[in-house]
């Protein structure tokens, strides 16, 4: 609902190394959330690998792998001898990098979301570690702090969904959903949110996302998938209002 498409490479962990993969993903999710929420602003230098490792309680090589992933996604740029700098633009350009996303209309997008999102949350509930659920909760807390800034809320909503997609541990589904996120950033949707995402609607969405998070944390697949379906219906209503 990222100024830059976030293409996903294959997760760093493998079936033979699930702990490392989960830890790297936790670092990716945490740093991405901090970037999207503007804790680290555009062009700002990230803390050193050593500092991040101490902050997050992980090894430096885990931080290095996570930074590799964030650079591949276009969220940071690493400069030899200088460190890592944020390239994510919180202003949220509506230009998509993918030709497919650029050519995708609102109704086409809704059809694909209706196919992916209920199954995505089901798989995430099965596969997400407690640490990754905790990171999702941190993103929710950022969302709940927003009162009037529609653009900020949409950026955090994107990150919330991206973390759910990442939680499936399915690299193909993750790649597909990153394309969905790209398509959701098109001009038609940005304009729609400027008109419809009022403070009152933000508050309604915050309560809904809180319920979704509680369902995910409780591993309640039925409740979480029902939320996804209802959220799609609400978005469909907004699209119909635009016609």
Q: What is the pLDDT of residue 138?
A: 92
Question: What value does the mean pLDDT take over residues 130-152?
Answer: 91
Q: What does the angle CA 151 – CA 157 – CA 162 come to, to the nearest 5 degrees?
A: 130
Whether residue 77 has pLDDT greater than 50: yes
Q: What is the pLDDT of residues 95-126, one digit of tens each?
A: 445 677 777 888 888 899 999 999 999 999 99
Residue with tokens 């196919």, as numbered in its chain = 115
Q: What is the pLDDT of residue 126?
A: 96
Q: What is the pLDDT of residue 215?
A: 97
Q: Where are the beta strands (DSSP E) in the chain?
A: 76-79, 83-86
Q: What is the pLDDT of residue 64?
A: 92
Count of residues making up the chain: 243
Give the Cα separation of 65 and 233 in Å (integer): 38
Q: What is the pLDDT of residue 26?
A: 83
Q: Where are the beta strands (DSSP E) in 87-211?
A: none
Give the Cα separation of 19 and 80 in Å (integer): 29
Beta-strand pair 83-86/76-79:
antiparallel
Q: Are 217 and 140 in contact (CB under 8 A)?
A: no
Q: Which two tokens stand for residue 133?
A: 């659920």
Of the candidates 4, 152, 166, the residue with the CA atom closest to the CA atom of residue 72 = 4
Q: Are 164 and 118 in contact (CB under 8 A)?
A: no
Question: What value does the mean pLDDT take over residues 72-78?
Answer: 84
- Cα 103 to Cα 77, 100, 182, 184, 243: the distances in Å are 28, 5, 11, 11, 18
Query: SS3 for 176-235, per residue?
Result: HHHHHHHHHCCHHHHHHHHHHCCHHHHHHHHHHHHHHHHHHHCCCHHHHHHHHHHHHHHH
Q: What is the pLDDT of residues 155-197, one digit of tens each?
A: 899 899 999 999 998 888 988 888 888 787 765 565 666 677 8
């Amino acid at each position: 609902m990222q100024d830059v498409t976030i293409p996903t490479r294959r997760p760093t962990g493998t079936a033979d190394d699930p702990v490392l993969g989960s830890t790297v993903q936790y670092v990716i999710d945490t740093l991405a959330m901090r970037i999207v929420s503007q804790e680290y602003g555009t062009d700002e230098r990230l803390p050193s690998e050593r500092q991040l490792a101490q902050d997050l309680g992980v090894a430096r090589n885990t931080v290095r792998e996570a930074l590799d992933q964030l650079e591949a996604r276009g969220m940071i740029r690493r400069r030899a001898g200088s460190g890592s700098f944020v390239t994510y633009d919180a202003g949220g350009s509506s230009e998509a990098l993918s030709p497919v996303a650029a050519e995708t209309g609102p109704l086409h997008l809704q059809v694909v979301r209706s196919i992916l999102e209920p199954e995505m949350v089901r798989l995430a509930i099965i596969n997400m570690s407690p640490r990754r659920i905790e990171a999702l909760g941190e993103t929710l807390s950022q969302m709940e702090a927003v009162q009037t800034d529609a653009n900020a809320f949409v950026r955090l909503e994107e990150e919330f969904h991206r973390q759910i997609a990442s939680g499936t541990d399915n690299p193909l589904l993750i790649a597909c959903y990153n394309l969905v996120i790209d398509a959701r950033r098109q001009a038609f949707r940005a304009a729609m949110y400027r008109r419809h995402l009022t403070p009152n609607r933000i508050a309604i969405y915050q309560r809904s996302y809180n319920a979704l998070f509680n369902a995910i944390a409780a591993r309640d697949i039925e409740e979480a998938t029902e939320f996804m379906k209802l959220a799609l219906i609400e978005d469909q209503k907004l699209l119909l209002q635009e016609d």
